[in-house]
Amino acid sequence: MASDGGHGVSPYTSGLPGPVAGRYRITGRLGRGGMGTVWRATDELLDRQVAVKELHFNEGLSDGEQQLYRDRALREARSVAQIRHPHVVVLHDVIEQDGRPWIVMELIDGHSLADVLAKDGPVEPREAARIGAAVAGALHAAHERGVLHRDIKPANVLIERETGRVVLTDFGIARVSGSVTLTETGVFVGSPEYTSPERMSGATAGPESDLWSVGVLLCASVDGHSPFRRDSIGGVLHAVVYDDIRPPASAGPLLPVVSALLERDTGRRMGAVAAELWLRTYAETGEATGTGHVPTVIRDTVIPPDPGPEPAQDPTPPLTPSPFPVGAPRERGKSRRGVLVGALLALVLGAGVTAAVLAMNGDDGSAGTAATPRPSSSSPAPSAAHTTRTAAPVPAGFRTVTDASGFSVVLPSGYDRSVDPPRIFYYSPGKEFRFGVRNEVPDPNGPVAVMTAQHRGGAAAYKGYRDGFVTETTKDGGPAALWEFTWDGYPGGGARRTFDLCWTENGRQYDIWVSSPVEKSEQGRRTFDTARDTFTPR
């Protein structure tokens, strides 16, 4: 283990500490953070160099709070000791001296990613992909052991100097299944800029929360800082929980995987296996396309390549859920203000014990509708045959369209209708934004197979097809597939981003999509998400 961040003399020791446990001779300090000081040491029994982490205790803590810290150290030790992976720091020992826990780890001769970004600036996308693949692999190994890291950030990713090996460290706030966590005592720990929306809002967090942090880490790697950095904690909370997600332009070829990781809907967020495969493939080949995946935390599955693509027939590109949930619908029953207040309370409650942890280190048509809430990953999905639709407010600037062909949907005001059987279109003025619907006999292979075939044939059907991927998801409780891609667009119109959803309902197969100029893809995604949630066959 190398730097833990920070500089200066530790207030908890005078100069260098004496031998720890009569065995580990301290030879220098590697770094200091809000949770401890990391020392370089020599294991005199085995004659090897190690890193020793000394846990900090505030002298004003009660006996109970000090016990909490001791428990935390033991939990960190147990967490790391369970994991055997080349990209996870190796834990050698844990001891207690003078009432304070000390954790002995392998010594990584190198720098943290935070140090690299501060000294040399952002890294290239392929290097970011290499780092991200290593972190995703380490997390998969941890999650298989029931361990959540919960503090993925550049300071906790180490890069070995001679080999370039990437190592994930500091499981100090990890949660092992079945153990009591600090957040359960009213203390929020972590780095807000890298923390998932569900953790911010106080919801139950699982492996998918670590994957959100990987998405933020990738953005920070290529841009130098998190896309959620703001001037205040409240600003960070608002950005993570509610603001439009704006990945940096420097993400470039990493956009598909970053988008799939930064899904506010945990059920649509990419899993560790799929993320590692995508990132490793790009890091090794430089190819950001042709690696179709099914980003789902519940089932990490990769769609294998297959010949015989079925070209898309519609000149208007379909859509899939955009990586960055711009205006992604928040949980029903929770107001934006309520979510933020809950998150702020979590932070404030923890300030008394771990304040330092919180420091920012194509034609169209018209028609009225009932909204369909997207199933929450924390509640059982209704059956496809008995879906209950709950009306939701129509967003400002939108209207309910009831189409004569037998469906209703909420779309932006001012769209015009056009028909090209079996497709129905709604266009914004100038056809800048295009919404399409197709209704046909179901494919017996299901929505995922349909969208996978479209993805495989994308290069033949759409000029300049790129950044395409398919996501297995649900619509009103039934199976569905989302397809998202970029292409060169119509002559003279510039590149476009398309989002397409396919599912089967009441014996019919539906396909709805939205396409927009690439530079306005966030607005296109917002339109798509609204249409996805409110589309109702009649």
Positions marked catalytic = 151
Give the span between the Cα atoms of 502 and 518, in whole angstroms: 22
Q: Which residues contact 298 (CB under 8 A, 6 or more apart)?
A: 267, 271
The answer for 497, left when phi > 0, alpha when psi is -120 to 50, beta otherwise, is beta
**Which of these, 82, 80, 23, 32, lies nearest to 54 by C-alpha position?**
32
DSSP-assigned letter for residue 355: G
Phi, psi (degrees; rounded to nearest 5) at 384: -65, -30
Structure tokens at 283: 């890091």
Give the span between the Cα atoms of 419 and 21, in whole angstroms: 79
**Within a 13 Å sphere around the CA of 41, how many CA atoms are in the beta-carbon half?**
31
Mark 64-87 as b/e (b = at least 16 C-beta within 10 Å). eebebbeebbebbbbbbebbebeb
Contact (Cβ atoms closer than 8 angstroms) between residue 500 and residue 484? yes
Contact (Cβ atoms closer than 8 angstroms) between residue 514 and residue 528? yes
